Structure 1
Amino acid sequence: MNATDFTVFTATYNRANKLSKVYESLCQQTNQNFEWIIIDDGSSDNTEDFIKKLLVKSRFQIKYVKQNNGGKHRAINKGVQMASGELFFIVDSDDHLLPNSLEIISKYWKQVSSNSQFAGVAGKKIFKNGNDVGDKLKTEILDCSIIERRYKFNINGDKAEAILTSVMKKHPFPDYPNENFCPEGLIWNRISLEKKIRFFDEAIYVCEYLEDGLSKNSIRNRKTNSNYTLLLYSELSKNKQVPLFFRLRAIVNFWRFSFSNGKSFNQKKMMLNNPAFGTILFPAGFFFHLKDYFFDKVKISQ
């Protein structure tokens, strides 16, 4: 591998009390050939002071940048620009790694690194109690795209992907002003059109989904960041790796969240691969929009 095997990347926002867990897990890594890039997305807590202390005592390189609040996707774009590691590995600020995580990743990457069909490798995420996040692989190793893993092999749930930095540089997140949440699936789906991942059935990542985290607020984020949402579902509806049923469901979700977007009906319709067929599914999308609306009303009244 390269002079620096890994760029471990963390985007953080007001999580100074959580970052020590990430740092401690990096200190314990059996493979120390990495850099840690931290993009502070406009924190108002003592994150900056905490990182300054780490910069003095850390045995490994830490690159820290504080920017105006712009969302995780913009932080990732910045981190990718700064990265010097061969593989780019995202570790969220409320999660941490097992002591041999980077060593395990390196082992599997060496098996496929000479094959240009591969963009990276991915291992298992587990909860703090040791239970798997999502579905287990049916084999010890699975070589496929991220989309195929879910839709062809029916393995759902988050995995811990380490992706070639060169591939990440080729696929930056788009930038819609005034929207601060872009689903990471948009980029993973684009990478899936070109490259495969070696998935392996070993735990490398311990996660905790916090109440204020992105995963816990998925519906709200998709509503308030509708340009990204419509782009995600329009591209998914056109992706031939995705079975027809799920492409149709993507169209339904496209219309479901379209009511939060200011584009005209015709502008939205033209984002779909088959505008006429897409229009047929508009009533289903409207139904789910109403369901979301009344569910929100009930939550507010409670």
Structure 2
Amino acid sequence: MDNMITIITPTYNRCSKLKALYKSLLSQTSKSFEWLVIDDGSTDKTQSYIKELQKDEQPFKIKYLYQENSGKHVALNNAINATDTTLTFIVDSDDCLVPEAIETIIFKYRKIPSYKLNKLCGISFLKINSKGKLLLNKFSNKVEEDTYVNYRILRHIKGDMAEVWITKVLKKYPFPVFKNEKFLSEDVVWIKMSGPYKMIFFDDPIYIADYLSEGLTKNRRSANWKSPLGCVYKGDLLMGSSFPFKYRIKGSLYYNIYGFRAGKNALEIIKESKNKIVLLTIIPSYIVFRYWKLKY
């Protein structure tokens, strides 16, 4: 059977965590996948660990790519470019999969009618922690088809889900890269795919995550502060006409605050934006910027 899925794992100095993920991949009831580890400039034993695994006969193909430390979004771009399977599944280095994860993904994907596939960018499943608790604030317990924006953002479903992407669509939407910035919220791409494409949201838990204190999820505000241009980009997306007014206000705050953080003054921010809504929030944005500047 040809491999249907590439599991992409971006990693940076997480060799000790990769071993648990590898063990969970060995336990998969279906081995119709490849594991692509993209190393974002690790200085630990990540490279030698993966090379040792590659020397032994494995029940699935293991690939390894190395890049100078540039950030997870750059690593994902490089890994996605190197992927040629039907589906792409991003699994972080400190997480694991339940034994039936790959089997479940393939089974669900193959049941999708062909006339729907051209309108989809991916399918989504549930994440749980090691105690079996869902990593969402709410869930409807039924299969639904909708855009990422409608389902996740406009319905206020917060937390993490396990998205599996159709590779040929994902390749059309590379993560934007900004000079000297090593962090970018992944959902900027999910938002851009939303509208042209929908997703199917399934209610199967397939992914186990216990967030590390040093992980990106728990340090997002600090990471954002160090990468303001990516945040300006996200703010601009949130000001799009497909969002209700309150979200566009939130987007303008994001756009303005991180515009100030990027070293721009109020006039430059207003002139560069094509959306006049930034005028409404320029003063409160500056107040928040000054407060965050003291904090971060």
**CA 1:25–1:262: 2 relative to 1, 3 Å:** same
Pairs within 5 Å for 1:1-302: 3-57=2-56, 58-112=58-112, 114=114, 115=116, 116-240=118-242, 242-275=243-276, 277-296=277-296
Partners of 1:67 and 1:47 in 2: CA distance: 13
Partners of 1:154 and 1:263 in 2: CA distance: 31
Q: CA RMSD in A?
A: 1.6
**CA 1:112–1:263: 2 relative to 1, 3 Å:** farther
Q: CA deviation at 1:113?
A: 5.7
Equivalent residue letter for 1:212: E
Q: CA deviation at 1:270?
A: 4.1
Percent pairwise identity: 32
- What TM-score, normalized to structure 2? 0.94
**1:151 and 1:243 in contact (8 A); partners too:** no
Q: CA deviation at 1:80?
A: 0.6
Partners of 1:76 and 1:270 in 2: CA distance: 32
Q: Higher mean Cα deviation, 124-133 or 247-256?
A: 247-256
Equivalent residue letter for 1:123: F
**2:261 and 2:289 in contact (8 A); partners too:** no
Partners of 1:209 and 1:113 in 2: CA distance: 36
**1:96 and 1:207 in contact (8 A); partners too:** yes
Partners of 1:189 and 1:67 in 2: CA distance: 27
**CA 1:113–1:31: 2 relative to 1, 3 Å:** farther
Partners of 1:196 and 1:271 in 2: CA distance: 31
What are the Cα deviations for residues 164-199 of structure 1, in whole angstroms up to 9, with x where unaligned? 110111001112121111110110100112111111
**CA 1:261–1:82: 2 relative to 1, 3 Å:** same
Partners of 2:90 and 2:105 in 1: CA distance: 13
SS in 1 for 2:256: helix
Q: Which runs of 4+ in 1 moved over 6 A?
A: none
**CA 1:269–1:48: 2 relative to 1, 3 Å:** same
Q: CA deviation at 1:239?
A: 4.3
Count of aligned pairs? 293
**1:237 and 1:272 in contact (8 A); partners too:** no
**CA 1:294–1:264: 2 relative to 1, 3 Å:** closer
Gaps of 5+ in 1: 297-302
SS in 2 for 1:249: helix
Partners of 1:7 and 1:207 in 2: CA distance: 19
Partners of 2:29 and 2:251 in 1: CA distance: 42
Partners of 1:271 and 1:158 in 2: CA distance: 33
What are the Cα deviations for residues 89-130 of structure 1, in whole angstroms up to 9, with x where unaligned? 000000010000111112222232621111111100111111
What's 1:300 paired with? none
Partners of 2:162 and 2:113 in 1: CA distance: 17
Equivalent residue letter for 2:145: D
Q: CA deviation at 1:150?
A: 2.2
**CA 1:37–1:119: 2 relative to 1, 3 Å:** same
Q: Higher mean Cα deviation, 104-113 or 7-16?
A: 104-113
Equivalent residue letter for 1:54: L
Partners of 2:18 and 2:112 in 1: CA distance: 32
Q: CA deviation at 1:266?
A: 3.9
Partners of 1:167 and 1:221 in 2: CA distance: 28
SS in 2 for 1:10: strand
Partners of 1:284 and 1:134 in 2: CA distance: 30
**2:182 and 2:227 in contact (8 A); partners too:** yes
**CA 1:42–1:154: 2 relative to 1, 3 Å:** same
- What TM-score, normalized to structure 1? 0.92
